[in-house]
Structure formats: structure tokens, C-alpha cells
């Protein structure tokens, strides 16, 4: 069964460093998302991406964050200068977006645990 | 702003029991509601999705109901097993817009004891 994959599973970085989190959405899905979950807190929406551009972003997604779909398969989240409070689990999700069953259902990857020291 | 609340925060039951997890949302103008399972330190597994026009969805031992007007959903788990132990998350997608961002509750931590 197709699934969303994410790499790395765990990333440790120093404050102020840039990190890139990678995701491979399910092929033929059209909508892509990043969410994050700080330990013990709710899963929070960061950004949605469609047709090679950001379609919506939350207040969390400030200028330090960017997303890119550099090729036909990868979807990346970059944090330019990490802060301690960026430590969280980051989830990528994708959605078909095409007519038919399951077009609304979001499928999540296993997450990348980011630890900022 | 949509807020999603899940009660109880934690639940411990003996194996074989039927149980109900509750989810409430403040803005009833939702497009759909999705239940997820999250194992410790792991990703989210989609269990059931209910469209706003539906009242319930079933998958195996799981049954999710939706009362949109009252802002409530329940997840019913029949004949619980130790393997059902996990955190169960409820998430809603508001009506309007095409981005389908989800607003999550904090989850219910379920422990099924053998």
C-alpha cells in the first residue's frame, strides 16, 4: 500500500543551523502539508502546498520556514535558523485531491523528530 | 477559530471491554472529521473519515459517529484488545477553502490491559 515517507527519522542540530526535512508524498497526490507536534501538545498545521505554491500557512510558518517541491517526488521543509522552540515532531501529509473515493483523506508520514540544542 | 477537545485525556480499560472516545468542536461548520491513531513516537494512522453529510462510518471493530449540529463525534471501539493501546486523535476540516488543513484535538491516550 502506498505511503508517505519522511527522512531523516531523527535530526539533531545546533541552534542557528539550517535544517531540511524531506518527505516523499504518495505519488499522484496533489496536495501536500506540513504539521508539527511539540512534545505533549496538539498537532498543529504549518503549511499547505498545491500546484507548486503555498496555498495556506499558519502564523507559526514565519520567514524562517520555507517549502519546496524540487522534483516530481520530494517535498521539503527548510528551517533557516533553528531555535530551541522548533524542537518538535514534524509530519508531512498528502491528499489525493482528485474526484473519487478518498479525495479528502490526508495520509501522514511517520514524522521527523527535530531536536535543537 | 475552531477548537477541538477530546475527553477523556486518558482511559484505561481491561481487555474485551467496549469503549467510547469523545471529540467536540466549537465551530459546527465542518467539511469532514477524521480519526487517527498515534503510537508512541510514531506517525498518524488514519482510521476513519466522516463527511459532514454522514452520520457514521465503520471499519472493523471501530465505529465513528458525527453529530455536526451539536459539534460532537464519538469513536466506539468494540471488544478492545491490548494492541488497541495508543493515542487516538480527532481532527476536523472546516467548511470553506480548498486547502483541507486539519485542526486537531490533543488526543485520548488509551491503555487496554490484558
Name chain A contacts of B101, Cβ cutoff 8 Å: 33, 45, 48, 56, 58
Beta-carbon contacts of A116 under 8 Å, excluding residues fewer than 6 positions away, are A13, A14, A15, A82, A83, A84, A85, A86, A87
Interface of A with B (CB under 8 A): 6, 31, 33, 35, 41-45, 48, 50, 55-56, 58, 89, 91, 93, 95, 102, 104-111, 113
pLDDT in tens, B23-69: 999 998 898 999 999 998 788 999 999 998 999 999 999 999 999 99
Is the Cβ pair A106, B102 closer than 8 Å?
yes
Residue matched to cell numbers 494512522: B45
Task: Name the residue of chain B whose CA is nearest to A106's CA.
Answer: B46
Q: Which three cell numbers stand for residue B57?
A: 462510518
Alpha carbon separation from B62 to A10, A87, B25 (Å, rounded): 32, 34, 21
Res A111: pLDDT: 95
Percent of all residues in chain A with a pLDDT value above 70, rounded to a whole number:
95
pLDDT in tens, A91-112: 999 988 776 555 678 899 999 9
* CA–CA dist A65, A33 (Å, integer): 13
Name chain B contacts of A45, Cβ cutoff 8 Å: 101-103
On average, the pLDDT of chain A sits at: 92
pLDDT in tens, A17-36: 999 999 999 988 889 999 99
Percent of all residues in chain B with a pLDDT value above 70, rounded to a whole number:
97
Comparing A45-49, A71-75, A107-111, B31-35, which segment has the lowest mean pLDDT?
Answer: A71-75
The mean pLDDT of B103-110, rounded to a whole number, is 96
**Sheet containing A65-68, strands listed edge to edge, beginning at the edge strand earlier in sequence:** A5-7, A19-24, A75-79, A65-68
Res A2: pLDDT: 81
B37 interfaces chain A, CB cutoff of 8 Å: no
Task: Name the residue of chain B whose CA is nearest to A53's CA.
Answer: B99
Amino acid at each position: 500500500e502506498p505511503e508517505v515517507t519522511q527522512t531523516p527519522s531523527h535530526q539533531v542540530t545546533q541552534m542557528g543551523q539550517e535544517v531540511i526535512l524531506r518527505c516523499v508524498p504518495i505519488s499522484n497526490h496533489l496536495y501536500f502539508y506540513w504539521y508539527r507536534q511539540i512534545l505533549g501538545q496538539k498537532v498543529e498545521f504549518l503549511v499547505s502546498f498545491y500546484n507548486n505554491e503555498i496555498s495556506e500557512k499558519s502564523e507559526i510558518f514565519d520567514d524562517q520556514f520555507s517549502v519546496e517541491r524540487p522534483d516530481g517526488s520530494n517535498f521539503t521543509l527548510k528551517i533557516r535558523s533553528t531555535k530551541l522552540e522548533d524542537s518538535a515532531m514534524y509530519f508531512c501529509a498528502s491528499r489525493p485531491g482528485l474526484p473519487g473515493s478518498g479525495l479528502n483523506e490526508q495520509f501522514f508520514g511517520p514524522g521527523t523528530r527535530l531536536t535543537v540544542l | 477559530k475552531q477548537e477541538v477537545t477530546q475527553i477523556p485525556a486518558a482511559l484505561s480499560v481491561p481487555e474485551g471491554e467496549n469503549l467510547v472516545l469523545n471529540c467536540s468542536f466549537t465551530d459546527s461548520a465542518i467539511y469532514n472529521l477524521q480519526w487517527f491513531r498515534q503510537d508512541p513516537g510514531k506517525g498518524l494512522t488514519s482510521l476513519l473519515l466522516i463527511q459532514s453529510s454522514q452520520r457514521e462510518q465503520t471499519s472493523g471493530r471501530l465505529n465513528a459517529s458525527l453529530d455536526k449540529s451539536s459539534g460532537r463525534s464519538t469513536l466506539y471501539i468494540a471488544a478492545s484488545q491490548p494492541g488497541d493501546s495508543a493515542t487516538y486523535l480527532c481532527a476536523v476540516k472546516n467548511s470553506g477553502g480548498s486547502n483541507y488543513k486539519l485542526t486537531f484535538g490533543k488526543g485520548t491516550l488509551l491503555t487496554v490491559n490484558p
